[in-house]
Structure 1
Amino acid sequence: MARRVPALMIQGTGSNVGKSLIVAGLCRLFANRGLRVLPFKPQNMSNNAAVTCDGGEIGRAQALQAMGARVPLTVHMNPILLKPETDTGAQVIVQGRRFGTMRAREYGRQKAQLLPKVLESFSEIESGADLVLVEGAGSPAEINLRAGDIANMGFAEAADLPVILCGDIDRGGVIASLVGTHAVLEPSERERIKGFFINRFRGDTSLFDDGLREIENRTGWNGLGVVPWFADAHRLPAEDALGLADGIGNGPVKIVVPVISRIANFDDLDPLRLEPDVTLELIQPGNPLPGDADLVLLPGSKSTVGDLAFLRKQGWDIDLLAHYRRGGRILGICGGYQMLGRTISDPDGIEGPVGTVAGLGLLDVDTMLTREKELEQVSGFHVATGAAVSGYEIHIGRTEGKDCSHPLLEIEGAPGYTKPDGAISADGRVAGTYVHGLFTSDVFRAVYLKEMGAGSGLAYDTSIDTILDQLAVHLEGCLDVEALLEIARKR
């Protein structure tokens, strides 16, 4: 009989109540106590993915939680990842690999068949852990989605996990959300919930003592604490685009990012928004790109051809050309790189109708979309300066052309072998790369920003690690951590 590893599932009264951050902080808290903690999320929905050590992809939130736990990434931490491609359909990733593209109704019918894969991954995680911290998705109160559920109570019951419920007081109505969740759950599900806590309280937490008692009286659940507002939460990587502010920083160098409809892997922006000499401005649809930008950064996209059309619909193609004529710089990453070329061909209809569309024409390259997805952690160097770079590739398509003879990066392969990546225009002001995460490399980021007149003293990974330690201390001071651990052990 397999050993019963202590485990706990954090569910929320709704989306964006802070579950991901709480789990990341608890991972660091228990890791600091000497436990081997592993995060797990049965199903996630995000276009912000991370590439794992075993060559697959998972949600970026689980990557932050793994960093909190100080453990390497594996596909089993997030066995089902849904990557939206349209308003009604998404690419389905199973254990790190593409399973197919499904509309919401079709996926709803498939969920129950994916449960064995989810349980298989959970078993794999259990086998290497002293403690497993599981994050739910959305809310267990969405009882219209309960049939075949693998994200919340359906998984908790299948894996026999105790549940702790998180409510967000900053959103308002936290008493109603917790009591209402209790009201709509089945009796067996209510019993599975062993306690609750309140997140994001501003001010004197003792003012909510009566509120805690009221929730306890109405639900029978134990109140495990009130988590005060954590001011540095915004400095940690955002899970989805909704967590990104429109304007960040007040530095002399302005970097502008058009927010395309299927923006993906925007963790590229995280180090830039922490730089004191940088103002990072996210331009929402319907607004022009400002004329005083030093750099326009075209981000990754889950649907390059569709987002190129979206970009043109906003008039951003005209703004980009004007920015270029004024002498401005442009950098495209992954899908953004593909858009900068002359053409994008989709001979297999991967993103829509078969055919070829005109790109922005700012790089002398052409892209052909391919069925095979590149998924790899990479390291190398910046060709112009030799600065070390590390990151990851997660894309479909091959890009070739005259400007590829002037690559932005060289990627290390077999011993003594490198391969070029990206392209630079003849005048040096337009560049593209397939490597995500390159700005996490402190030396590269410093030399890149220096070309625009910005200094950099930021040690990015160290700063994130420090904030995770601070978050762990923050949670230890306001949650009944011993009760959480005891609940996990009694599973």
Structure 2
Amino acid sequence: MARAIMLQGTGSDVGKSVLVAGLCRVARRRGLKVRPFKPQNMSNNAAIAAIPGSQELGEIGRAQWLQALACGVAPTVDMNPVLIKPESDMGAQLVVQGRSHGSARARDYQRSKGALMAPVMDSFARLREEAELVIVEGAGSPAEINLRARDIANMGFATNADVPVVLVGDIDRGGVIAALAGTHLILDEADRRMIVGYVVNKFRGDLTLFDDGLAAIHRFTGWPSFGVVPWLAEAHRLPPEDSVSLARRVSPVPAKLRVAVPMLSRIANFDDLDPLSAEPEVEVVFVPPGERLPRDAGLIVLPGSKSTIGDLAFLRRQGWDEDIKAHRQRGGHIVGLCGGYQMLGRHVSDPEGLEGAAGSVEGLGLLDVETVMQPQKALREIEAVSCIYQTPISGYEIHIGRTSGADCTRPVAMIGDRAEGAMSEDGQVFGTYLHGLFSSDPFRSRFLKEFGIITGTTNYRLQVETALDDIAQRLEDHLDCDALLAAAR
């Protein structure tokens, strides 16, 4: 039975996902069979993963997909047994061990989530049977004591599974001493005993300047420090888990091609754009609500969405529909990915209310296609060939809805003998359900050549692997990894 250690945070977005990925790579480099685990994740950035004992595929959070990559293993749904995919401010789709269990309002989920501890423990047990070490990631913060009674994500899991906890604080946002000391103060004694130490993350500058801070934290908590992690610039080369991080992404230099991406309210799988961001001559700008899409963009990408009809209305409220049409009239190019593809058509219908209220709305009308939402979700890995460039594409589909229409006679790709996607007659606009389109190096290279960009031999997957190795080395340099891993039990 594998030993386990858990990283919990003093709040959301303190860097737990990156630290777990880095520690997974540290353990792998030491020759350990290591697996990632996150009992409960809330994210619309989903990935395809195997369902143990089945030929089916299921969904997990994209961060756990990345952590599996850091471990050097294929992802399975056991790595993230409960995935919550927000559809509105009040409700979300619930995915348990890879399979959809319908939608629930937030209040109803809070009342019923205690019953999910059984599948969480079932998945955890399976991972422990195949590994020597499991590194667990919490969600949010254990300081949310109002949620403790039915908690499965933080101390509820840790105490049930008897997994020791390392608490992570984010010094970049300020107040890290208060965050760590305050968490110690409000946890009950049983939960407090689970914490074996802490890590201070995202420090900028001379690390010795925080020596007095470490002494203060020890004075208030008695917890030992495993170290202070500097700001990891390498993390920007990894796919982000949370859309919170998108607004803070800044391109270092002006580029030949500016790509504008509207930040939809239910944006999903936005890591589709990461391979473009990694190109030195491409600037990807995620445009927040309330701002207009930049007129100097050469390409607009409509990303995925967990609520296509709801996000169409959101897009129109920002005036982005007019920006997109003006961009088209100026000769600009537009790409729609998954939900963004559906928005580009003439109509989107959801007769059964699968993503919200039942109904039908007018699309942007830039592709001659229509979409009807259907209960059966497409979940599959794909190998395709680009119809324009005849280059290979590796990726995955994860969507509900069937799209058809005249522009589908000009497909984006062929998956075997099945045509996929649609393109306008002049080639300025296309839409596809293929996630991972831009991760396919040959396709991305040919696509960017249309904008006068020569990419050379960029290997996006290798860049991610290199970033994981670099982060692992930085953790080895600045954390007491021996002590941290030895604390696992």
For normalisation by structure 1, the TM-score amounts to 0.96
Contact 2:167 2:197 in 1 (8 A): yes
**Secondary structure at the residue paired with 2:163?**
coil
- Distance in 1 of aligned mates of 2:238 and 2:395: 18
**Secondary structure at the residue paired with 1:449?**
helix
Provide the aligned C-alpha RMSD in A.
Answer: 1.2
- Distance in 2 of aligned mates of 1:354 and 1:132: 42
**Aligned length, in residue pairs:** 481
**Secondary structure at the residue paired with 1:385?**
coil
**Secondary structure at the residue paired with 1:170?**
coil
- Superposition deviation, residue 120 in structure 1: 0.5
- Distance in 1 of aligned mates of 2:428 and 2:176: 51
Query: What's 2:463 paired with?
Result: 463
- Alignment partner for residue 4 of structure 2, among 2, 7, 14? 7
Query: What's 2:345 paired with?
Result: 341
Q: Which amino acid aligns with 1:107?
A: Y
- Distance in 2 of aligned mates of 1:139 and 1:196: 14
Query: What's 1:390 paired with?
Result: 394
Contact 1:260 1:301 in 2 (8 A): yes
- Superposition deviation, residue 351 in structure 1: 2.5
- Distance in 2 of aligned mates of 1:11 and 1:351: 31
- Distance in 2 of aligned mates of 1:424 and 1:137: 40
Query: What's 2:78 paired with?
Result: 76
- Distance in 1 of aligned mates of 2:176 and 2:322: 46
Q: 2:478 aligned with 1:478, yes or no? A: yes
- Alignment partner for residue 307 of structure 1, among 311, 320, 335? 311
- Distance in 1 of aligned mates of 2:404 and 2:84: 30
Measured against aligned partners, the alpha-carbon deviations of 1:267-298 in whole angstroms (never above 9, x if no partner) come to: 11111111111121222222222222211111
**Secondary structure at the residue paired with 2:74?**
coil
Query: What's 1:194 paired with?
Result: 196
- Superposition deviation, residue 246 in structure 1: 5.5
Measured against aligned partners, the alpha-carbon deviations of 1:208-238 in whole angstroms (never above 9, x if no partner) come to: 2222122123212111111111122222111
Q: Which amino acid aligns with 2:131?
A: A
Query: What's 2:54 paired with?
Result: none
- Distance in 2 of aligned mates of 1:353 and 1:198: 44
- Distance in 1 of aligned mates of 2:228 and 2:353: 51
Query: What's 2:47 paired with?
Result: 50
Query: What's 1:441 paired with?
Result: 440
* Identity, % of aligned positions: 58
Contact 1:52 1:377 in 2 (8 A): no
Q: Which amino acid aligns with 1:24?
A: A
- Distance in 2 of aligned mates of 1:351 and 1:122: 30
Kindly report which structure 2 residues correspond to 1:91-490, keeping only aligned pairs within 5 A, or say none.
Answer: 91-244=93-246, 245=248, 247-248=250-251, 249-412=253-416, 418-457=417-456, 458-488=458-488
**Secondary structure at the residue paired with 1:194?**
strand
- Distance in 1 of aligned mates of 2:476 and 2:441: 31
**Secondary structure at the residue paired with 1:432?**
strand
- Superposition deviation, residue 314 in structure 1: 1.4
Measured against aligned partners, the alpha-carbon deviations of 1:238-288 in whole angstroms (never above 9, x if no partner) come to: 111111236535211121111111110101111111111112122222222
- Distance in 2 of aligned mates of 1:20 and 1:253: 30
Measured against aligned partners, the alpha-carbon deviations of 1:456-480 in whole angstroms (never above 9, x if no partner) come to: 1321110110011010010011111
- Superposition deviation, residue 354 in structure 1: 2.9
Q: 2:55 aligned with 1:60, yes or no? A: no
- Superposition deviation, residue 344 in structure 1: 1.0
- Superposition deviation, residue 15 in structure 1: 0.8
Contact 2:87 2:356 in 1 (8 A): no
- Distance in 1 of aligned mates of 2:393 and 2:161: 41
- Superposition deviation, residue 450 in structure 1: 0.6
- Superposition deviation, residue 51 in structure 1: 1.1
**Secondary structure at the residue paired with 1:362?**
coil
Contact 2:259 2:297 in 1 (8 A): yes
- Distance in 1 of aligned mates of 2:478 and 2:319: 49
- Superposition deviation, residue 310 in structure 1: 1.1
- Distance in 2 of aligned mates of 1:321 and 1:169: 43
**Secondary structure at the residue paired with 1:372?**
coil
Structure 2: any 5+ residue segments left out of the alignment?
52-56
- Distance in 2 of aligned mates of 1:389 and 1:366: 25
- Distance in 2 of aligned mates of 1:103 and 1:252: 45
- Distance in 2 of aligned mates of 1:354 and 1:479: 52
**Secondary structure at the residue paired with 2:471?**
helix
Structure-2 change in CA distance of 1:487 and 1:402 (3 Å):
same
Q: Which amino acid aligns with 2:410?
A: H
Measured against aligned partners, the alpha-carbon deviations of 1:118-137 in whole angstroms (never above 9, x if no partner) come to: 00110111111110000001
Contact 2:337 2:435 in 1 (8 A): yes
Structure 1: any 5+ residue segments left out of the alignment?
413-417
Q: Which amino acid aligns with 2:146?
A: N
Q: Which one is further off, 346-355 or 31-40?
A: 346-355
- Distance in 1 of aligned mates of 2:182 and 2:294: 46
Q: Which amino acid aligns with 1:42?
A: P
Q: Which amino acid aligns with 2:487?
A: I
Contact 1:27 1:38 in 2 (8 A): yes
- Distance in 2 of aligned mates of 1:376 and 1:425: 26
- Distance in 2 of aligned mates of 1:144 and 1:357: 40
Query: What's 1:25 paired with?
Result: 22
- Distance in 1 of aligned mates of 2:361 and 2:215: 61
**Secondary structure at the residue paired with 2:7?**
strand
Query: What's 1:415 paired with?
Result: none
Measured against aligned partners, the alpha-carbon deviations of 1:286-316 in whole angstroms (never above 9, x if no partner) come to: 2222222211111000000111111111121
- Superposition deviation, residue 77 in structure 1: 0.4
**Secondary structure at the residue paired with 2:149?**
coil
Q: Which one is further off, 347-356 or 474-483?
A: 347-356
Q: Which amino acid aligns with 2:277?
A: R
Q: Which amino acid aligns with 1:171?
A: R
- Distance in 2 of aligned mates of 1:246 and 1:124: 37
- Distance in 1 of aligned mates of 2:290 and 2:481: 46
- Distance in 1 of aligned mates of 2:357 and 2:480: 55
Measured against aligned partners, the alpha-carbon deviations of 1:152-191 in whole angstroms (never above 9, x if no partner) come to: 0000011110111111111111111111111111111111
- Distance in 1 of aligned mates of 2:18 and 2:354: 35
Contact 1:331 1:337 in 2 (8 A): yes
Q: Which one is further off, 368-377 or 312-321?
A: 312-321
Contact 1:53 1:377 in 2 (8 A): no
Contact 2:290 2:318 in 1 (8 A): yes
- Distance in 2 of aligned mates of 1:209 and 1:354: 58
Q: Which one is further off, 290-299 or 437-446?
A: 290-299
